[in-house]
Structure 1
Amino acid sequence: MKDGRIVGKHKGRENFTIGQRKGLGIAWKNPLYVISIEDDGSVILGEENETYNESFSVIDLNFQGLAPLNEGESLECRVQVRYRHIPIRCKITKMKEGLIVHPLEDVRGVTPGQSAVFYPLDSDYLLLGGIISKGSIQMRVAEPAISVLN
């Protein structure tokens, strides 16, 4: 648990993905989801309302159909964070080392190391892409209700 409580054991963090619900091997009053996978091997679990992302950072930017943004410049567009995920509206702000992305619609399962792809609001023309940065994801709920599988 976020408070240090261990609620179970697992056979390796490589067996989990952010947003996973099935196959956790934990009985709980409400369905649980993987909301974080830590460097120490801990897998943080939470309830559905704890899976939504408030913001995240994207690095290694590759501008395609958009001139590079200046630091501090913002743009409203759409972002896709998973395969087969329908792009959602977001506001991006250029930072020194990448972008801060603020989803304007509910999004969950944002995973470090995965691609984020950006499109205009009114078309599927590619604007830019990048990699979701590790440690940059801000959850809508600050403290998960339960947490750790070691």
Structure 2
Amino acid sequence: MKVLVGLSGGVDSSVAAALLREAGHDVTAFTLLLGHADPDGVHRCCRPSDVRDARAVAARLGIPHYVWDYQELFQQKVETPFLRGYAAGITPNPCGMCNRDVRFGAVLDRAIRLGYDALSTGHYARAWAGGLYRGLDRQKDQSYFLSRIPASSISRLVFPLAHLTKPRVRQIAADMGLPSAEKPESQEICFVSGRTSDFLAARLGETPGEIVDAAGRTLGRHSGIHQFTPGQRRGIGISGSEPLHVTALDAGTNRVTVGPRRSVFRDRVRLVECSRLLPPDDPWPETFGAQFRYRAVPAPARIAASSGNEMDLILTEPAFAPAPGQIAALYDGDRVIASGLIAA
């Protein structure tokens, strides 16, 4: 099989490429240039050192390697919506946007045009018989971030690490003598250097407003709603008789509402931009798991109403602070059956 594999220079993608090569596939590697340089001239995403590491791995494996510049598309589809989302009081998921529109969108289209049979990455997930499933290593499972990929694309994907744990991946890299065997994990948001709050403050500035309680009483002031997300407890800057959490953000009034922890749980969640991953003829399960954060335990759920690409869920166990803008991945066991964006 002719496979195009993403090679970031890290240990996961390196082992994915090595396993494909070892299995006898015709493998070509690529590295993406994504985030733009900071004012100091440093690329936080796909740094020059990462490109050098990827080239070294490709050379060790004896496979062709190319560097493709997708910075403009990344800015259009990921960075700009990320900033706009926070300015509007929602909490966007940049990995989900990148996977849908860049890595498994534009790049997959390019792979097909170039005659490749499949696109592969070092994600911990499983693509099988046209379905997307969790990876074996539950601590590293990335099916949540991949759930925004269109169903029509999944049959073209190969995830060689599906049945491996992270320690096993590092051992394989060491045994093969790959240069990335001991390379540290990458940071959570690839194009953000340092704290996300500092990154947002530098780009969105200050927009002072009120911090209020559920009754609308002013408790304090804030420097911008982009510094907050539902469920947040640290960094609010005010105290009460019990710990306070962010319960809501209102971009129209520029208000942050806070309350006790019990007030952030929700038993109903509305989703928009829903995408079904189950085949049209497969029956929809009466109950399923709804995962609202990476590594969160899915909440048992059922559909209360649906129309077009919108869906209202009822949760049998209230979930902690589903954040508007974040991904809701719906599971039937280990299989991803749909995803959407949390609206309320």
Structure 2 counterpart of 1:91, one-letter code = R
| Residue of structure 2 in register with 1:87 after alignment | 298
**Greater relative contact order, per chain length (Cα 8 Å cut-off, separation 6+):** 1
- AA in 2 matched with 1:78: G
Structure 1 residue 52, shift from structure 2 partner: 0.7
Q: Deviations over 1:52-84 (max 9, x none)?
A: 102011111111125389xxx983110000111
Give the count of matched residue pairs: 129
Contact 1:74–1:93 at 8 Å: present in 2 too? no
2:226 equivalent to 1:14: yes
CA distance in 2, matches of 1:63, 1:2: 36
Query: Aligned match of 2:342 in 103, 122, 132?
Result: 132
Q: C-alpha displacement at 1:100, in angstroms?
A: 0.7
Assess if the C-alpha contact under 8 Å between 1:75 and 1:93 holds in 2: no
State which of 308, 312, 322 in structure 2 corresponds to 1:100. 312
In the TM superposition, what are the counterparts of 1:48-127 in structure 2 within 5 Å? 48-67=261-280, 75-97=286-308, 98-120=310-332, 123-127=333-337
Return the alpha-carbon distance in structure 1 between the equivalents of residues 276 and 255 of structure 2.
35
Structure exhibiting the larger radius of gyration computed from Cα positions: 2
Task: Report the counterpart of residue 147 of structure 1 in structure 2.
Answer: none
Q: Which structure has greater helix proportion?
A: 2
Task: Name the CA distance, whole Å, in 2 between partners of 1:25 and 1:65.
Answer: 45
Unaligned runs of 5+ in 1: 138-150
Quote the RMSD (CA, aligned, Å).
2.0
Aligned to 1:47: 260
Asked whether the 8 Å contact 1:114–1:131 carries over to 2, the reply is yes
Distance 1:66 1:117 in 2: 16
Aligned mates of 2:217, 2:248 — CA distance in 1: 15
Quick one: percent identity of the two aligned structures? 26
Calculate the TM-score normalised by the size of structure 2.
Answer: 0.35
> Whose strand proportion is higher, 1 or 2?
1
Change in 2 beyond 3 A, CA 1:50/1:110: same
Structure-to-structure mapping, 1:15-30, within 5 angstroms? 15-30=227-242
Question: Are residue 4 (structure 1) and residue 222 (structure 2) matched?
Answer: no
Distance 2:259 2:233 in 1: 10
The answer as to whether partners of 2:214 and 2:259 remain within 8 angstroms in 1 is no
The Cα shift of 1:114 comes to 1.0
Q: Name stretches of at least 5 consecutive residues in structure 2 with no aligned partner.
A: 1-212
Shift of 1:4: 2.8
What letter is aligned with 1:51?
V
Whichever residue aligns with residue 93 of structure 1, its letter is A
